[in-house]
C-alpha cells in the first residue's frame, strides 16, 4: 500500500463551523509504526471533542489533523514489532493513544493523568478517513455480537461516561442526576439504571428528554429545573459552566458532582452556603485509563448497553458535526465510509 492515498477529513484552520474549518482532502494511507496497527475504519462515532478540535476550543496539537476517536475497524496491517493481533480481526480505537508508562501517574495506575499522553484525532490522525493507525497496546478488543455502528460510540462517549459515573461516587441504589443528555449521557444512564440507580435527566431539547424517559429515567426536565428529589450524585455532560451551581444546588448533603467534559465554559462564582457547604464536592474527569475502557466494555456487553445511533456517510462528516453542534439528533452520530 506504499504511496497509496485516501480521502480524509482535515481540520485545515480551526474555527467556527460556518467558516468551513473541516475540509475533505487527499492524504497518504498511513503507515503503521513498529508498535502500531493499520486499521481499516468500518465505523467512526462523532464525539463532542471532535467539535472542540474543529472549532479551536482545544489548541492545535497536529496541523491538519483528521478527527475521530471512536473507531471500530479491522486490522489491515501490522507494525514489525506487533504481536498478538491478526489481520482481519476487529479492534476499537479510542481517545487515549499513548502514555509514557513510566511517570508517577502511570506507575500508580492513573495513566489518564500522564503529562506525556497523546490522543487520537488530536495528536495523531483519527477515524474520519478510510484508514487510521493505533498503537497495539492501546487497541481495544471488542465483543463479538454487537454491530460496528452500535459499538462505535461506546469507545469514547461510553468510556468517559463510565469514568464520570464512577467519579460521581453514586451509592448503591442512589439518586443520579445527568445534566445534558447526548451520546455520553445516554450510555451512562443505561449503565446506572442497570446497576439499580434512580436517574433524573436535566437537559434542554424535547427529543433528548423523550429518549431519557424511553430508556427508563424517572424524570426528564429542563437543564435549569430542580429534579424532583435531592441527588446523591450528578454528572455534568453539557459543556456549560453555568450549570455547575445549578447542579450543586440539586445535590443532597454530601453529594458529588463530576464534570465529564474536556472543555467547559467558565464556572460562575459559587455561593458557599447553598452550593458547597454540607460537604458537597465538585470533581473533574480527565480522559480515561485503559482499565476504565476494559471495565466499561465488559459491563456494557453484560448489561446490553446500546447506543441510539444516527448514521451519516463519511462524505458528510461536516454535516454530522453541524447537527451535533445544533443538537439536531438524540443519541450519537456515526460515520460509515462511502468514499472508498
Ligand atoms: Zn505517564
Ligand atoms: Zn470523545
- CATH number for the domain including 192? 3.40.50.720
Q: How far is the CA of 119 from the centre of ligand 1 (A)?
A: 13
Ligand closest to 69 (CA) is 2
Do 170 and 236 lie in one domain? The reply is yes
Share of the chain above pLDDT 90, in %: 94
Q: What are 117-148's pLDDT values in tens digits?
A: 999 999 999 999 999 999 999 999 998 888 99
Ligand closest to 106 (CA) is 1
Q: Quickly state the pLDDT bin for 340 (edges 50, 70, 90).
A: confident
Q: How far is the CA of 114 from the centre of ligand 1 (A)?
A: 4
Residue 82 lies in a domain: yes
Do 277 and 163 lie in one domain? The reply is yes
Do 151 and 42 lie in one domain? The reply is yes
Residue 249 lies in a domain: yes
Residue of 158, 157, 190 lying closest to 176 (CA atoms): 190
Q: What are 81-127's pLDDT values in tens digits?
A: 999 999 999 999 999 999 999 999 999 999 999 999 999 999 999 99
Q: What are 144-195's pLDDT values in tens digits?
A: 888 999 999 999 999 999 999 999 999 999 999 999 999 899 999 999 999 9
Which pLDDT score is estimated for 1? Answer: 55
Do 202 and 226 lie in one domain? The reply is yes
Q: How far is the CA of 26 from the centre of ligand 2 (A)?
A: 24
Q: How far apart are CA 221 and CA 212, in angstroms?
A: 10
Q: What are 21-60's pLDDT values in tens digits?
A: 999 999 999 999 999 999 999 999 999 999 999 999 999 9
Beta 175-179 vs 198-202: how paired, if at all?
parallel
Q: What are 284-319's pLDDT values in tens digits?
A: 999 999 999 999 999 999 999 999 999 999 999 999
Using the 3D structure, point to which of 244, 268, 284 is the last residue of a domain: 284
Do 126 and 225 lie in one domain? The reply is no
Mean pLDDT of the chain: 96
A 10 A CB-CB count for 105 gives 18
Do 172 and 148 lie in one domain? The reply is no
- For the whole model, what pTM was predicted? 0.92
Structural element, H or E, at residue 77: strand 71-78
Backbone angles phi, psi at 191, to 5 degrees: -70, -45
Q: What are 250-281's pLDDT values in tens digits?
A: 999 999 999 998 889 999 999 999 999 999 99
* CA 23 to mean position of chain CA atoms: 22
Do 243 and 105 lie in one domain? The reply is no
Q: How far is the CA of 323 from the centre of ligand 1 (A)?
A: 36
Count of domains forming the chain: 2
Q: Residues lining ligand 2 (ion), CB within 5 A?
A: 47, 49, 156
Q: How far apart are CA 328 and CA 142, in angstroms?
A: 29
Residue 298 lies in a domain: no
Q: What are 208-228's pLDDT values in tens digits?
A: 999 999 999 999 999 999 999
- CATH number for the domain including 138? 3.90.180.10
Letter string b/e over residues 10-24, b meaning 16 or more CB atoms within 10 A of that residue's CB: bbbebeebeeebbeb
Do 86 and 221 lie in one domain? The reply is no
Helix residue ranges per DSSP H, the chain: 48-55, 104-107, 148-151, 157-167, 183-194, 206-215, 243-250, 290-302, 317-325
Q: Residues lining ligand 1 (ion), CB within 5 A?
A: 99-100, 103, 106, 114
Q: How far apart are CA 178 and CA 280, in angstroms?
A: 16
Do 28 and 116 lie in one domain? The reply is yes
Do 109 and 229 lie in one domain? The reply is no
Do 117 and 201 lie in one domain? The reply is no
Do 251 and 332 lie in one domain? The reply is no
Q: Exposed/middle/buried for 265, CB within 10 Å: 0-12, 13-18, 19+?
A: middle
Asked if residue 230 lies in contact with residue 250, where contact means CB atoms within 8 angstroms, the answer is: yes
Residue 42's SS3 state is strand
Enclosing domain of residue 128? 5-155+308-336
| Three cell numbers, residue 87 | 489481520
Q: Quickly state the pLDDT bin for 2 (edges 50, 70, 90).
A: low
Q: How far is the CA of 251 from the centre of ligand 1 (A)?
A: 34
Q: How far is the CA of 107 from the centre of ligand 1 (A)?
A: 7
Q: How far is the CA of 220 from the centre of ligand 2 (A)?
A: 24
Amino acid at each position: 500500500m506504499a504511496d497509496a492515498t485516501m480521502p480524509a477529513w482535515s481540520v485545515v484552520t480551526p474555527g467556527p463551523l460556518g467558516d468551513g474549518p473541516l475540509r475533505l482532502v487527499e492524504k497518504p494511507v498511513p503507515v503503521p509504526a513498529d508498535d502500531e496497527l493499520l486499521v481499516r475504519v468500518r465505523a467512526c462515532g462523532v464525539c463532542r471533542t471532535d467539535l472542540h478540535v474543529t472549532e479551536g476550543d482545544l489548541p492545535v496539537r497536529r496541523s491538519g489533523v483528521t478527527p475521530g476517536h471512536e473507531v471500530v475497524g479491522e486490522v489491515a496491517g501490522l507494525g514489525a514489532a506487533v504481536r498478538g493481533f491478526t489481520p482481519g480481526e476487529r479492534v476499537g480505537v479510542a481517545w487515549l493513544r499513548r502514555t509514557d508508562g513510566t511517570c508517577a501517574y502511570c506507575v500508580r495506575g492513573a495513566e489518564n493523568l500522564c503529562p506525556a499522553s497523546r490522543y487520537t484525532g488530536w495528536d495523531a490522525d483519527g477515524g474520519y478517513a478510510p484508514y487510521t493507525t493505533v498503537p497495539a497496546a492501546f487497541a481495544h478488543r471488542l465483543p463479538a455480537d454487537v454491530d460496528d455502528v452500535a459499538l462505535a460510540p461506546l469507545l469514547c462517549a461510553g468510556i468517559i461516561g463510565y469514568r464520570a459515573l464512577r467519579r460521581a461516587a453514586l451509592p448503591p441504589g442512589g439518586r443520579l442526576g445527568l445534566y445534558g443528555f447526548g451520546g455520553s449521557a445516554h450510555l451512562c444512564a443505561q449503565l446506572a439504571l442497570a446497576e439499580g440507580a434512580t436517574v433524573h435527566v436535566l437537559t434542554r431539547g424535547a427529543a433528548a428528554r423523550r429518549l431519557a424517559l424511553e430508556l427508563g429515567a424517572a424524570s426528564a426536565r429542563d437543564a435549569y429545573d430542580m429534579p424532583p428529589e435531592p441527588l446523591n450524585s450528578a454528572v455534568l455532560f453539557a459543556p456549560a459552566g453555568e450549570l455547575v451551581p445549578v447542579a450543586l444546588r440539586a445535590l443532597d448533603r454530601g453529594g458529588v458532582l463530576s464534570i465529564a467534559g474536556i472543555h467547559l465554559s467558565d464556572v460562575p462564582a459559587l455561593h458557599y452556603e447553598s452550593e458547597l457547604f454540607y460537604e458537597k464536592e465538585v470533581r473533574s474527569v480527565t480522559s480515561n485509563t485503559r482499565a476504565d475502557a476494559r471495565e466499561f466494555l465488559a459491563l456494557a456487553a453484560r448489561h446490553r448497553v446500546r447506543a441510539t445511533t444516527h448514521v451519516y456517510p463519511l462524505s458528510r462528516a461536516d454535516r454530522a458535526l453541524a447537527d451535533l453542534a445544533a443538537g439536531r439528533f438524540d443519541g450519537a452520530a456515526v460515520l460509515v465510509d462511502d468514499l472508498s
